[in-house]
Amino acid sequence: MIRLACFGAGRIGRVHALNAAMQPGVTLAYLADPVATPAREALAAQTGASIADPDTIFADGRIDGIIIASSTDSHAGLLLRAAEAGKAVFCEKPISLDMALTEEVMRKVEASGVPCMLGFQRRYDRSFRALRDRVASGASGPLEQVVMFSRDPAPPPRSYVETSGGMFRDSSIHDVDMARFLLNEPIASVYATGSCLISPEIGAAGDVDSVMITMVSASGRQVQITACRRGPMGYDQRLEVLCANEVSTAVQYPATRRSKIRPRGGDRRHGARAYQIAGACHGALAPWGQNSTI
């Protein structure tokens, strides 16, 4: 039996705690969150976890792994404690909002040898993974341009925004990660603009809710990201990659389907084609204030 502990009983903590507790062969032994809310108590009751403080959890030799799903400012400290205690760890993004601290935590966790995974789940979404594998296989020809749309279901509350690091580092971090995953080379330059078009609360917290980012890789390949804290269609993730031989798209849909689109005109004689991959994305987060059901 694998025994886990989860830090954070908020929106994403609920997703991870419920997922962990329903796995065969896994026990969610502890739930830690310093804020006593009815949601924390309900999650503990639903998962069978005991509410505990960090010292109890890290001192318990029977705990195999730690899930860090707490607020961003707690990640670095908890990652270091997990590494020191020799516990495998899954940590939500980001490690920290401070680059020097991020690098220090990376070094120490690596040196400790504990297995560590970060919450960049889009790399594991079926459609995005299939697209990336196809591009990496060389079948599409050299990659030239990437265009992404990334929309959350609904804007977060001001309290979340205030500790999140802001839209670019909190939300667009997933799109930047996906760009790096696809390009497999460093980004050389970034141009970005942000506006507050949706939520006056987000504006009052000094943040933006609608952004456009243009990135250029070291070899000159281009990425365009359009992201927003609200999607009229709900959680909305789409990606298009232009390669020399074909255009590939990944779209978040509940069911996987694939289709090839034949180009019009004479393109076919050059072997050019559009190749569409539509597949399941990870279970979408519920809008703020609603229960998540994945």
Contact positions vs ligand NAD (CB under 6 A): 7-13, 32-35, 69-72, 74, 92-93, 119, 121, 160, 170, 285
Q: Give the shortest CB-45-to-ligand NAD separation in angstroms.
A: 16
**Which backbone phi and psi does 193 adopt, to 5 degrees?**
-140, 145
Is there a cis peptide before residue 94, judged by omega within 30 degrees of 0?
yes
Instruction: Between 81 and 221, name the residue whose CB sits nearer to ligand NAD.
Output: 81
Q: Give the shortest CB-25-to-ligand NAD separation in angstroms.
A: 24
20: nearest Cα among 41, 48, 42, 40 = 48
Instruction: Between 119 and 143, name the residue whose CB sits nearer to ligand NAD.
Output: 119
**What does the DSSP 8-state code read for residue 205?**
T
Q: Give the shortest CB-182-to-ligand NAD separation in angstroms.
A: 18
Q: Give the shortest CB-186-to-ligand NAD separation in angstroms.
A: 23
Instruction: Between 34 and 86, name the residue whose CB sits nearer to ligand NAD.
Output: 34
Distances (CA, A) of 258 to 22, 130, 181, 251: 31, 10, 21, 10
Contact 167, 208 (CB under 8 A): yes
Q: How far apart are alpha carbons 172 and 220 in whole angstroms?
A: 21
20: nearest Cα among 39, 40, 5, 35 = 5
Q: How far apart are alpha carbons 28 and 19 in whole angstroms?
A: 10
How many residues are present in the chain? Answer: 294
Residue with tokens 């999650």: 43
Q: Give the shortest CB-224-to-ligand NAD separation in angstroms.
A: 21
**Shortest-Cβ-distance residue relative to ligand NAD:** 10
Instruction: Between 34 and 206, name the residue whose CB sits nearer to ligand NAD.
Output: 34
Q: Is 195 helix (H, G, I), strand (E, B) or coil?
A: strand
Instruction: Between 5 and 114, name the residue whose CB sits nearer to ligand NAD.
Output: 5
Is residue 46 within a helix (H) or strand (E), and if so which, with residue range? helix 38-47
Q: How far apart are alpha carbons 202 and 126 in whole angstroms?
A: 32
Instruction: Between 175 and 240, name the residue whose CB sits nearer to ligand NAD.
Output: 175
Q: Give the shortest CB-254-to-ligand NAD separation in angstroms.
A: 18
Q: Give the shortest CB-8-to-ligand NAD separation in angstroms.
A: 4
Instruction: Between 78 and 223, name the residue whose CB sits nearer to ligand NAD.
Output: 78
Structure tokens at 231: 């999607």
Q: Give the shortest CB-155-to-ligand NAD separation in angstroms.
A: 12
Distances (CA, A) of 277 to 90, 133, 241, 246, 272: 29, 12, 11, 12, 16
Instruction: Between 65 and 221, name the residue whose CB sits nearer to ligand NAD.
Output: 65
